[in-house]
Amino acid sequence: MSPVTQAIAGLVVVIIIGFIIVGMSEQSPEEQMAQAFLRSGSMLNQYAHEKCREAVEKEVKTNIFSPTDSSSDQETFVSLTWTGVQGKFDKATCKYVKTKGIVSLVVNGKTIIAKE
């Protein structure tokens, strides 16, 4: 066999062994729970950014982008704050709760949404 053929055969063997190792490895319940927690927190953050951004844009009638501040417990709520564009709005805050959606929306000190 030529050296090129041997190199290709070696690469194929390494790839097959890699697939076998990955296919046979399993996550522990703790690892599965950690992954689920990360996905859940990420989805909560994504929904909050999307819904709050839409609500603020509807109220101020201009496009907004990334919030200037955010806080979250990564399980139940996300609070977002936008510092506005001069002449459009000064400050907007929005709180999104996992099971309730937007529970608070305040734009320029005016309460738009207030749920319990």
Mean pLDDT of 107-113: 91
Q: Please, which pLDDT band fits residue 92 given cuts at 50, 70 and 90?
A: very high
What is the pLDDT at residue 26?
79
pLDDT tens figures, 22-71: 777 777 778 777 777 777 888 889 999 999 999 999 998 888 888 999 99
What is the pLDDT at residue 4?
86
What is the pLDDT at residue 104?
95
Q: How far apart are CA 51 and CA 57, in angstroms?
A: 10
What percent of the chain is predicted at pLDDT more than 70?
A: 99
pTM comes to 0.68
Higher model confidence: residue 83 or residue 30? 83
Structure tokens at 68: 């200037």
Identify the CA nearest to 79 among candidates 67, 62, 90, 63: 67
What percent of the chain is predicted at pLDDT more than 90?
A: 41
Q: How far apart are CA 43 and CA 37, in angstroms?
A: 10
